[in-house]
Structure 1
């Protein structure tokens, strides 16, 4: 099992820009073939199909500053059936991405029809008399503690605008589940009554998430050789990424430990412990897009994912799926002759790519931008391991846990949640599926 002290990456550099002259125009040539835009930022759902105009829109400012800055956000309020004002609020916070939230896109994502009967989750919640408050952030990629302050303001607004005294439901997708978890715990820590009876996380990386280390380095490689604003590595180097990812690297040349490479993750976990780790008052529920029985995806470790080359071989990159631990296992490399040539090796890193969990098309997104072929089964890798989404008890830095744990064989006390539901198979991170939607509706209808 990967541990914080042993898990590391090592980069071997063959060319250095400082010592090799660069032919005139070469840098511009290379910049022209490298991917553009922020890498791994997931696109919003297309603005087609079902739309719904909210009855209220709230402009929100964080309840507390963080590191001298005050985060902002917006909420779209949709009244439940028979309501002409807020009665039974359910706050659902947006997840990890770059830039501001797209609340219409979030609505389309969460209300997309799911098999087998093409029901829609948000429509069903509204029909149950639940008022849906979709919470977005001005900068989804900033510090989680900062966006947690926006959550606290949204909770206060919901309480003050609510008719009656029905308790709140508060939660979020992915990072949004962590921001709401922190906000509720911090409010309790400050002695503030958040009046929330149910907390719900949707495929949230309670113990950490995963983006392949070689892809992180490729993002830095592209950003260095093709500078832009925003840059290709802006999402990977963002505060939220550093806090969410179990393994992170700071540059394309970084060699060293990966589990504690960013102090922001260590500080975030310390802050969570300071405020109580999880909120105490609410019933804590969670769903995972990963399978529960320990079945991973057909993404074996140490397999070539893609090999890209351009400009008659002067520039190129290759990536392999994460090997199964071992020492100095090759994960890929990149070159831009004569400016850069490197190979990357990992040691004691578990084979996250094929693990059970909510998936993200990280390999596919990069391959598409590079215009290089990739096998369909290798397009996606595990992003939020099931063991993380259901908040099993294990150290979030050490990760002394089997990624392929059969959760169905564990007793309830192995999770830090009061109850949870996994998908019937490994699905896309944040996707609304039948098993998850029906379980949520059943739990909130109790």
Structure 2
């Protein structure tokens, strides 16, 4: 019998908060640290990037739910090119607010010498960095911006060499949908290769208890001057991308179908063909392919805060089971507890990592062991698009992918890293493999 993964909360936080005095609430807010959007990428400093040869201001080719998304693209022509000739579009990933294309350039070009993007340009490939003004909005809306970018590249390209189109993280999902949608609508995207760089094809993971703590912190200390801690978690893109999601700190129920936005997006993705058919599909995964996860024992406490009248405990995601405790928050006498049932041990799974626990620890001001700072964000089986239904794939999290049969992935070829590195990390193994895939193009 297949059980649906779920979460259950006892002693609703709202009723617990109502039992606190004003002084107690203030003390708890002080203990829970500073305001700010949890899990959002910190604003980078000054990023060194060459001045683009041109910049395109982009508007989505169609609205989604009445919203028309916008964005921009920075075009860096290949060495010796005076016009767009061999375009490669690299779309930005998940985050809050607008893309920083200079930071995107610096990220992909700083880990090796010469840098990855410089190598592309030396190979005669024109690099188009695609960004979005609202990275957190609906994937379909930003996909419309990607469609406009593809159309603009075709329009301005000299000659008839095909395109390479893809992206990092969410950017791989946005371009996947954009190319598939164009094929369904009969539009010629003229794309020969599609690539995704640690993209959550089956879903991404942020620990459920940390999602709940973001909501809880926000409710105790509302920020009237801007977005709260859970703003990124509640965004349309997060709801569409996360394998498991909760709508607030008191939610009890299924976690894979908690958001209708994810269900609607997956249905929409199926409607446009699931994956584009024409391009050769490449996948890069920041996780290892041999099934080896991180040393994060399921159910281990990470946080243990005692600050009268507040006590807080949060645990690494347990492995399956029923009503497995993931968090406890005690406000004096009342206690809020959260427990999951039939949820796999995602935190330690092989995959691209995110410092989810570390960011929350820093925001609250809690000590945390270094090994607990990072947990799995995009499982390797998700990044290589294992041929599974996104609602029921969790039992394969630790699967050995080294000799995966061809019909077990939706991609044509993929490469896993040699260690479980940070999500989006530009590793030598992945980049060398990708450059080899492009060598004959």
Q: Same fold (TM over 0.5)?
A: yes
* Match of residue 227 from structure 2: 230
| Residues 218 and 334 in structure 1, CA contact (< 8 A), matched pair in contact too | no
* Match of residue 382 from structure 1: 376
Shift in alpha-carbon separation, 1:17–1:122, aligned structure 2, 3 A: same
Q: 1:321 aligns with which of 297, 316, 319?
A: 316
TM-score (norm 2): 0.96
Q: Does the residue aligned with 1:241 lie in a helix, a strand or coil? A: helix
* Match of residue 43 from structure 1: 42
Query: What CA distance in whole angstroms lies between the structure 1 residues aligned with 2:199 and 2:279?
Result: 17
> Once the two structures are superposed, what CA deviation does each residue of 1:119-158 show, in whole Å capped at 9, x if it has no partner?
4111111111111111111111111011000000000111
Query: What CA distance in whole angstroms lies between the structure 2 residues aligned with 1:393 and 1:300?
Result: 27
| Runs of at least 5 residues in structure 1 that lack an aligned partner in the other structure | none
| CA positional deviation for 1:24 | 3.5
| CA positional deviation for 1:307 | 1.3
Q: 1:192 aligns with which of 175, 187, 192?
A: 187
- 1:284 pairs with 2:269: no
Shift in alpha-carbon separation, 1:83–1:300, aligned structure 2, 3 A: same
- 1:211 pairs with 2:209: no
* Match of residue 173 from structure 1: 168
Shift in alpha-carbon separation, 1:238–1:252, aligned structure 2, 3 A: same
Q: 2:117 aligns with which of 118, 122, 128?
A: 122
Q: 2:296 aligns with which of 299, 305, 308?
A: 299
* Match of residue 332 from structure 1: 327
| Runs of at least 5 residues in structure 2 that lack an aligned partner in the other structure | none
- 1:81 pairs with 2:79: yes
| Residues 37 and 228 in structure 2, CA contact (< 8 A), matched pair in contact too | yes
- 1:264 pairs with 2:261: yes
Query: What CA distance in whole angstroms lies between the structure 2 residues aligned with 1:152 and 1:92?
Result: 13
* Match of residue 147 from structure 1: 142
Q: Does the residue aligned with 2:152 lie in a helix, a strand or coil? A: helix
| CA positional deviation for 1:337 | 4.9
Q: 1:54 aligns with which of 52, 55, 72?
A: 52
Query: What CA distance in whole angstroms lies between the structure 2 residues aligned with 1:11 and 1:21?
Result: 18
| CA positional deviation for 1:410 | 1.6
| CA positional deviation for 1:335 | 3.9
Query: What CA distance in whole angstroms lies between the structure 1 residues aligned with 2:301 and 2:41?
Result: 23
Query: What CA distance in whole angstroms lies between the structure 2 residues aligned with 1:186 and 1:15?
Result: 43
- 1:249 pairs with 2:246: yes
Q: Does the residue aligned with 1:408 lie in a helix, a strand or coil? A: coil
Q: 2:407 aligns with which of 397, 401, 413?
A: 413
| CA positional deviation for 1:31 | 3.1
Q: Does the residue aligned with 1:388 lie in a helix, a strand or coil? A: helix
Q: Is the deviation greater in 426-435 or in 8-17?
A: 8-17
Shift in alpha-carbon separation, 1:279–1:429, aligned structure 2, 3 A: same
| Residues 172 and 199 in structure 2, CA contact (< 8 A), matched pair in contact too | yes
* Match of residue 97 from structure 1: 95
* Match of residue 197 from structure 2: 202
Query: What CA distance in whole angstroms lies between the structure 2 residues aligned with 1:393 and 1:308?
Result: 42
* Match of residue 106 from structure 1: 104
| Residues 223 and 232 in structure 1, CA contact (< 8 A), matched pair in contact too | yes
Query: What CA distance in whole angstroms lies between the structure 2 residues aligned with 1:91 and 1:368?
Result: 35
> Once the two structures are superposed, what CA deviation does each residue of 1:298-331 show, in whole Å capped at 9, x if it has no partner?
1111111111233xx2234221100110011111
| Residues 81 and 129 in structure 1, CA contact (< 8 A), matched pair in contact too | yes
| Residues 308 and 370 in structure 1, CA contact (< 8 A), matched pair in contact too | no
Q: Does the residue aligned with 2:140 lie in a helix, a strand or coil? A: helix
